[in-house]
Structure 1
Amino acid sequence: MHVYILTNPTQTTLYIGVTNDLTRRLYEHSTGRGDAEKFTGRYQIDLLVYFETLPDATQAIARENQLKGWTRRKKDALITAFNPTWKAIDLDTWEG
């Protein structure tokens, strides 16, 4: 299971999610870009800047909820510690 954070090109909005297949979920976000009915589509959010792997759904959902409760400043610090340049992560080449 994965908890992940996406942002938009201007890094003004964050989206936190959980999935059992990060590659599939990123594809779903990218194909929904521009869809005004969806939060990620409306704000052009499809750039992966942070993720972590957890052993099971219960822990992943708990972590997702924890991160959602954080301030923007704390989320920014987490992302910066993991991905200092906030460059969009390509899972095929990420060496993190």
Structure 2
Amino acid sequence: MRELKKKNIIILIMITIITLTIGCTLKIMHDRNIEKEKAATAAIEHMKKKENIDVIVTKVDIKPAASGGMIRVSGHVKDQKNRNFFVSIIKR
């Protein structure tokens, strides 16, 4: 009886740890996607305001904090695919 109870407790602890790990991973991925969307929007607004051009964002890279914690947004001008741009955003 005691062995069965110990096994059940161990299984419950393992399930709890796995569930928490999956939940934290999903939260981090969600937050990262929100950062990418905000960075893309900021880059589009910046290019429209400063350069007066419409752009299409094709790639957003988030660099780790150890390498400066920057977000690099790249893409091209709306009707001219050969005219590329990139914007670096410092995370704060």
TM-score range, shorter chain: under 0.3
Work out which of the two has the higher radius of gyration on C-alpha atoms and give 1 or 2: 2
Relative CO higher for 1 or 2, CA cutoff 8 Å, sep ≥ 6? Answer: 1
TM-score (norm: length of structure 2): 0.26
More strand by share: 2
Q: Which has the larger share of helix?
A: 2
